[in-house]
């Protein structure tokens, strides 16, 4: 029997502002019975999802909806070195709150570049080096969360998306399990938010007529659905890591599907 009733794959975007319609922000939804289909944003003058609109939509969907596994394509935390340099307590909730205070990328009309350039916020007090990588990024051969302005970078989407994770955590509380920060094995009947990395799977599935952003969101939803159907999600939630690495990952986060 499937652990989840729905699987949402999200290809994220850090472009423009939180209320801008973003063609790079795509969502695909699947169920145990049906393969992934694209989710259109709620009716409005905007053609595509906005970051704020996506967060509010997820809030509504997860508040009273069926148990859902959500895979989002941006990092959920930063490398241990960041915590050490900036003397941030080893606590994920404290990290999210501290980050939002320095990088208020969820603010009205706020571009990530505005904070990077020192026009707003206090981003200069919370920076990192492109050579700093989380262990899961090293395992997945993914780029650092501080490696901006290069192809395949997740730095911008991560800096834009982290405040919305804090928003969802505050709004939904115990209704959602943030993996692995709330524990490696989610309790039954609860929705789960996890970090996905489409590059692991996007070439596995035919793209058909989907563009790159659509294919990334589709592949995350499809991979999660197929792993649940095969009874393998439990193993994915409990990767074979030693105690030291597990402890580190509970702070840095982990990409679902990385061994």
pLDDT of the residue at 250: 98
Contacts of 243 (CB under 8 A, 6+ apart): none
3-state helix, strand, coil in the chain (%, to 5): 40, 10, 50
Structural domain contains residue 180: yes
pTM of the model: 0.97
Query: What average pLDDT does range 111-125 have in this prediction?
Result: 97
- Provide the number of structural domains found in the chain: 1
Structural domain contains residue 244: yes
Structural domain contains residue 1: no
Structural domain contains residue 257: no
pLDDT band at 143 (very low <50, low <70, confident <90, very high): very high
pLDDT digits (tens, 9 = 90+) for 47-56: 999 999 999 9
pLDDT digits (tens, 9 = 90+) for 195-248: 999 999 999 999 999 999 999 999 999 999 999 999 999 999 999 999 999 999
pLDDT of the residue at 40: 95
pLDDT of the residue at 124: 97
pLDDT band at 11 (very low <50, low <70, confident <90, very high): very high
Beta strands 68-72; 176-178: pairing state? unpaired
Residue 64 has pLDDT above 90, yes or no: no
Domain that holds residue 165: 6-252
Residue 44: count other Cβ atoms within 10 Å of its Cβ.
10
pLDDT of the residue at 208: 95
Contact 100, 54 (CB under 8 A): no
Tell me the average pLDDT of the chain. 96
């Amino acid at each position: 029997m499937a652990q989840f009733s729905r699987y949402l794959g999200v290809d994220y975007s850090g472009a423009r502002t939180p209320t801008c319609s973003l063609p790079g922000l795509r969502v695909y939804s699947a169920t145990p019975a049906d393969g992934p289909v694209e989710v259109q944003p709620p009716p409005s003058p905007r053609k595509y999802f906005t970051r704020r609109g996506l967060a509010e939509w997820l809030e509504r969907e997860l508040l009273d909806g069926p148990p859902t596994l959500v895979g989002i394509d941006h990092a959920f935390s930063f490398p241990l070195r960041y915590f050490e340099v900036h003397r941030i307590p080893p606590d994920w909730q404290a990290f999210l709150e501290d980050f939002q205070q320095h990088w208020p990328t969820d603010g009205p009309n706020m571009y990530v570049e505005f904070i990077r350039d020192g026009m707003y916020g206090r981003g200069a007090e919370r920076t990192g080096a492109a050579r700093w990588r989380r262990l899961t990024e090293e395992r997945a051969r993914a780029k650092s969360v501080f490696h901006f302005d290069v192809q395949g970078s997740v730095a911008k989407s991560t800096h834009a998306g982290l405040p919305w994770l804090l928003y969802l955590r505050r709004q939904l509380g115990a209704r959602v399990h943030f993996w692995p920060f709330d524990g490696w094995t989610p309790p039954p009947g609860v929705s789960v938010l996890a970090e996905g990395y489409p590059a692991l799977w996007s070439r596995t599935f035919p793209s058909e007529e989907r563009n790159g952003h659509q294919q990334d969101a589709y592949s995350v939803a499809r991979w999660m659905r197929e792993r649940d159907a095969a009874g393998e999600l439990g193993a994915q939630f409990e990767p074979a890591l030693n105690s030291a690495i597990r402890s580190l990952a509970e702070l840095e986060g982990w990409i679902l599907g990385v061994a």
